[in-house]
Structure 1
């Protein structure tokens, strides 16, 4: 989870603490990333394989 937080922070989407917890801030950042990238084939805020590939790629 810390890796996800760091990746989102590097995109300027997450401004919370790097603490390894999936809270509302992380969920909002994931949703924003999905919206910005046009990822709409999975639930907003869900860090699934499509979102993971786009964020880590």
Structure 2
């Protein structure tokens, strides 16, 4: 067997695997505050599960609305916590607030 000219072996080029999209949306739970909570409150209002103030505070009332939403949709995520599965489902059911 004779070595190839130049002595360097070239490995076949491998295309990088595509990266999966990263979910950068925050997980929200009781005690959180901010514009993300306002959006959650507005979306819960759209599905008639929240009638409180849209004040940006994830209160016990918001937590109970999220828990009810999860239960009624068969979502098996931490109850009362607005995580990726709950967010995806609620966003698919509501328009942009």
Q: Structure 1 length normalisation: TM-score? A: 0.95
Gaps of 5+ in 1: none
Which has the greater radius of gyration? 2
Cross-structure match for 1:13: 49
Cross-structure match for 2:87: 52
Which structure has the highest helix share of the two? 1
For residues 1-49 of structure 1, the C-alpha deviation after alignment (integer angstroms, 9 at most, x for no partner) is: 1000000011000011000000001000000000110001x21001000
Q: Does 1:22 align with 2:58?
A: yes
CA distance in 2, matches of 1:6, 1:50: 18
Cross-structure match for 2:39: 3
CA distance in 1, matches of 2:39, 2:58: 11
Equivalenced residues, count: 56
